[in-house]
Structure 1
Amino acid sequence: MNVSLKNIDAVSGIVKLEIVKADYAEQVEKSLRNFRQKANVPGFRKGMVPMGMVKKMYGKHVLAEEVNKLVSENLFNYIRDNKLNILGEPMPNETEQQPINFDTQEDFEFCFDVALAPEIKIELSKNDKLPYYQVAIDEEMMNQQVDAYTANFGAYDQVEEVEEKDMVKGTVAELENGSPKEGGIVVEDAVLMPSYMKDEAEKAKFIGAKTNSVIVFNPNKAYEGAEAEIASFLKVDKEAVAGITGDFSFEISEITRHKKAELNQELFDKVFGEGVVTSEEEFKNKIKEALAEQFVPQSDFKFLLDAREILVQKAGELQFADGLLKRWLLAANEKNTPEKLDEEYPQIIEDLKYQLIKENLVKGNNLKVEDADIESFAKRVAKAQFAQYGMLSVPEEVLANYAKDMLKNKQTLQNIIDRAVEEKLAAWLKEQVELDVKEVSAEEFNKLFE
């Protein structure tokens, strides 16, 4: 078999595969023998059908199948072995491909169009200046996080008198003329929080009430007819809420109040691990460090967005095999239409251009992502996820196991690989250019993405 590439121009070519009988004859014969062993033909025992009859019945089908296998394997082997950086997939050639006749031909020639990635050369230096935004952790952000930790690690106490944010438990019963309604709604162990009531007058009925008190109130007024809240509270369907407009009694059996944790060593140990911080000042500084660390990936993401413009500019005008790429895009997506593709194609090319630039920089500067990098990145993702729930001192073993489970998902694995590559690219770019470091507030930083 002979496989060759004919360059049409710098970004397209034709891969030609020339197949002769010697390339496929042995495999075709083997396949036909297998068919003979399995064939059920009236008048012949299984496996005893004459080979001539087998060839007549299955020969063309087997020949076509084996030749197509050869074409597929050798086409992609050629692309891989010759390190052709093709875009999309090879497409059947429309000009040089001759008709194929498996009835009469012994030798075959297949031609495929390939779109080749353009050559990219980018040079960066310290003369290139790019902004890098660092988020300043202010007192408000730090105090909000302190409040979150004191709330998360707080406790629940049983109290005797209701305050607005307390959780009140008891039995609720539907009333009729001031007495329990026969066959009416009764919910034991019902739970409400006065703070969620929208009507101030109804809310006020609960404030100051004590355990074993009986409150008469109107749920429809209290929640201003909100179906979801009322249905959940009274354990009824949403459709029934509209017909529930009367008073209910609520006999209080239990009042629970959340008490924030104190800023002491016990809290410090729960948040950061035993003995890691030993004072309120250290605790707050550690929180600032953790918050700043959480913003680094976002700062790098913004940095790469800003770097894109200069990288695309330095790459200059890149040529693409537009006609061939459009053919492939139409074939790859049945929902595409020529009109829709013409509209979307400019953006597709812009995104493709930047993707090729990134790949070029990663490959050209040996920015490899090893297994250790992937595992490390996955653990950082896991750590960040735990941190969202106030868990900052998760044991290394737990992080490692959590990360390992994450990487079992192919989509998650690919996402982490992509992010790890971009992290390495961002780190490399920072070393090549001059950084114009700008310290901004979280609010200002978020506005940069609007």
Structure 2
Amino acid sequence: MNISLQNVDKVSAVLTVQIEKADYQEKVEKSLKTLRQRVNMPGFRKGMVPMALIKKQYGISVLVEEVDKLMQEKVGEYIRENNVNMLGTPLPKENNVNFEADENFEFSFDIALAPEFNVELSNNDTVDYYDINVTDEMVDQQVKMYTQRTAKYDKVEEYQENDMLKGLLAELDENGNTKEGGLQVEGAVMMPTYMKNDDQKAIFNGAKTNTVLVFNPATAFDNNEAELASLLKIKKEEVANYKGNFSFQIEEITRMIPGDLNQELFDQVLGEGKAHSEEEFRAQIKETIAKQFEADSDYKFLIDVRNYVVNKIGKLEFADELMKRIMLENNKEKGEEFVAEHYEKSLEELTWHLIKEKLVAANNIKVEQADITNMAKEATRAQFAQYGMINVPDELLENYSKEMLKKRESVEALVNRVVEAKLSEILKGQVTLNHKAVSAEEFNKMFQ
């Protein structure tokens, strides 16, 4: 067998494979013998079909299969051993191969090559890095959430904002009397704080238990079908039938009393002994928020590095026609229109992929199993943190991360996150960072 690679230009080549009978003969004979042991043919016992008959009926298909397997194996070896920086897969040219008449075969493939380029970053390169401010308001909101989790609920006599009301809801007629046969809901629950209409909301200010108030649910909740259907215990399609006033007899008023900022709460949120005062507790909360923001800043930094390096290198040359054929081959069901529409975007992603590969190689970044496991735990920890759960037991993190590692797509995503985290950390030390302090709102607008 002979394999050769001939460059057409800088970004494309033709791979030629010449296969002789001696390369495949033994494999074909072995496959035919194995087939003879399995095949059932009328008039012959199993395993006793004459080899001539086997060759006549199956010879060509076995030959094609073995030549194809041999060719794929050897082409793969050639590409690996010769470090051919290929994009996509080899695309077969129009090969005039006659398996019935010929014994020696020649196959040719078009190959798209990755463009050659250099990428180097140093302290002469300046990239923006956004430091997101952690405000006292953010800390207050987080602390408030924790105290609400340990809140108690008291029955009170007079309504205040954020209280919950329970009572009898009854439909009224045009004269303001309880409508005969009208809709009534016993034990109706609502929170006037969430009403959309301020005038309707004001009706409940200072209301006491056992009083009866008149309001218009449709106006109060701005004709929101979901909210009205839930309050009136009806189907959404029936909501339009109830535009008038209702009476509401208040039976209970429930008020949430936030939990105390005490040692028990500190230990529950942060872990035993991590904070001994409200000041220390708030400092820890602020540090946790800052750490979450740092991950966001690193993500934005890598996006900015990408844009900076792409602009620095300039537009790379690709074998466009070959690349479009490869893209079409991978998206046959979507057709040429899809390729035409998405080709330029795919090149942008490919360009960054090639740049990132060079940066990873240049900085000798490796991904170990321990890195993947730790990233799975950090990803799990971040998910819990979104719900305000900071002091998550290691055992729980371990169990959740193990489930994540069972899924192939999750592992691939984790590997990519490890690579990007390591790359970001290294590049932050290589380039000059132009630190910019921003609010969370300003930072989020950058992604809109």
Considering the TM-score relative to the shorter chain, is it more than 0.5? yes
In the other structure, the counterpart of 1:191 is 189
- Equivalent position amino acid for 2:274 in 1: V
Which one of the candidate residues 100, 121, 127 is aligned to 1:124? 121
Whether the 8 Å CA contact 1:123–1:314 is kept in 2: the answer is no
Identify if the C-alpha distance between structure 1 residues 410 and 159 changes in structure 2 by more than 3 Å, giving closer, same or farther: farther
CA-CA distance at 1:340 after TM superposition:
5.8
- Equivalent position amino acid for 1:129 in 2: T
Which one of the candidate residues 258, 282, 286 is aligned to 1:260? 258
Cα displacement string for residues 219-245 of structure 1 (whole angstroms, at most 9, x for unaligned residues): 334434322111112222111111234
Identify if the C-alpha distance between structure 1 residues 197 and 133 changes in structure 2 by more than 3 Å, giving closer, same or farther: closer
Identify if the C-alpha distance between structure 1 residues 168 and 91 changes in structure 2 by more than 3 Å, giving closer, same or farther: same
- Equivalent position amino acid for 1:69 in 2: K
In the alignment, the residues of structure 2 paired with residue 197 and residue 439 of structure 1 have an alpha-carbon distance, to the nearest angstrom, of 37
Cα displacement string for residues 244-276 of structure 1 (whole angstroms, at most 9, x for unaligned residues): 345555454443221222333233222212221
Q: How does 1:358-397 map to 2 (within 5 A)?
A: 358-397=356-395
- Equivalent position amino acid for 1:440 in 2: V
In the other structure, the counterpart of 2:402 is 404
In the alignment, the residues of structure 1 paired with residue 28 and residue 136 of structure 2 have an alpha-carbon distance, to the nearest angstrom, of 77
1:25 matched to 2:37? The reply is no
Identify if the C-alpha distance between structure 1 residues 343 and 215 changes in structure 2 by more than 3 Å, giving closer, same or farther: closer
Whether the 8 Å CA contact 1:11–1:321 is kept in 2: the answer is yes
Identify if the C-alpha distance between structure 1 residues 5 and 274 changes in structure 2 by more than 3 Å, giving closer, same or farther: same
In the other structure, the counterpart of 2:421 is 423
Identify if the C-alpha distance between structure 1 residues 122 and 252 changes in structure 2 by more than 3 Å, giving closer, same or farther: same
SS at match of 2:436: strand
In the other structure, the counterpart of 1:39 is 39
Whether the 8 Å CA contact 1:167–1:257 is kept in 2: the answer is yes
In the other structure, the counterpart of 1:238 is 236
Q: How does 1:135-284 map to 2 (within 5 A)?
A: 135-174=132-171, 178-179=177-178, 181-182=180-181, 185-200=183-198, 202-211=200-209, 213=211, 215=213, 217-246=215-244, 248=246, 250-284=248-282
Cα displacement string for residues 356-398 of structure 1 (whole angstroms, at most 9, x for unaligned residues): 1110110122111211112222222211211111111112222
Whether the 8 Å CA contact 1:218–1:247 is kept in 2: the answer is yes
Cα displacement string for residues 68-115 of structure 1 (whole angstroms, at most 9, x for unaligned residues): 122222222322333322111111135xx4x11111122222222221
- Equivalent position amino acid for 2:324 in 1: K
TM-score, normalised relative to structure 2? 0.89
CA-CA distance at 1:8 after TM superposition:
3.0
Q: How many residues are aligned here?
A: 446
In the alignment, the residues of structure 1 paired with residue 45 and residue 325 of structure 2 have an alpha-carbon distance, to the nearest angstrom, of 50
In the other structure, the counterpart of 1:105 is 102
Whether the 8 Å CA contact 1:152–1:390 is kept in 2: the answer is no
- Equivalent position amino acid for 1:107 in 2: N
In the other structure, the counterpart of 1:90 is 90
CA-CA distance at 1:342 after TM superposition:
4.8
- Equivalent position amino acid for 2:85 in 1: N
- Equivalent position amino acid for 1:443 in 2: E
In the other structure, the counterpart of 1:58 is 58
- Equivalent position amino acid for 1:86 in 2: M
In the alignment, the residues of structure 1 paired with residue 440 and residue 39 of structure 2 have an alpha-carbon distance, to the nearest angstrom, of 73
1:305 matched to 2:308? The reply is no
Identify if the C-alpha distance between structure 1 residues 198 and 325 changes in structure 2 by more than 3 Å, giving closer, same or farther: closer
Whether the 8 Å CA contact 2:170–2:178 is kept in 1: the answer is no
Q: Unaligned stretches of 5+ in structure 1?
A: none
SS at match of 2:426: helix
In the other structure, the counterpart of 1:413 is 411
In the alignment, the residues of structure 2 paired with residue 328 and residue 430 of structure 1 have an alpha-carbon distance, to the nearest angstrom, of 36
Residues 163-172 or 80-89, more deviating: 163-172
In the other structure, the counterpart of 2:76 is 76
In the other structure, the counterpart of 2:351 is 353
Identify if the C-alpha distance between structure 1 residues 126 and 218 changes in structure 2 by more than 3 Å, giving closer, same or farther: closer
Residues 10-19 or 195-204, more deviating: 195-204
Residues 274-283 or 435-444, more deviating: 435-444
In the alignment, the residues of structure 1 paired with residue 155 and residue 80 of structure 2 have an alpha-carbon distance, to the nearest angstrom, of 70
Identify if the C-alpha distance between structure 1 residues 169 and 48 changes in structure 2 by more than 3 Å, giving closer, same or farther: farther
Identify if the C-alpha distance between structure 1 residues 224 and 354 changes in structure 2 by more than 3 Å, giving closer, same or farther: closer
CA-CA distance at 1:400 after TM superposition:
2.2
In the alignment, the residues of structure 2 paired with residue 224 and residue 344 of structure 1 have an alpha-carbon distance, to the nearest angstrom, of 43
- Equivalent position amino acid for 1:302 in 2: K
In the alignment, the residues of structure 2 paired with residue 199 and residue 347 of structure 1 have an alpha-carbon distance, to the nearest angstrom, of 47
- Equivalent position amino acid for 2:109 in 1: F
CA-CA distance at 1:118 after TM superposition:
2.3
CA RMSD, 1 decimal? 2.8
Which one of the candidate residues 329, 332, 335 is aligned to 1:334? 332
SS at match of 2:241: coil
Whether the 8 Å CA contact 1:120–1:360 is kept in 2: the answer is no
In the alignment, the residues of structure 2 paired with residue 102 and residue 45 of structure 1 have an alpha-carbon distance, to the nearest angstrom, of 30
Residues 163-172 or 110-119, more deviating: 163-172
SS at match of 1:114: strand
In the alignment, the residues of structure 2 paired with residue 147 and residue 66 of structure 1 have an alpha-carbon distance, to the nearest angstrom, of 70
Residues 198-207 or 280-289, more deviating: 198-207
- Equivalent position amino acid for 2:151 in 1: G
In the other structure, the counterpart of 1:114 is 111
TM-score, normalised relative to structure 1? 0.89
- Equivalent position amino acid for 1:162 in 2: Y
CA-CA distance at 1:194 after TM superposition:
1.6
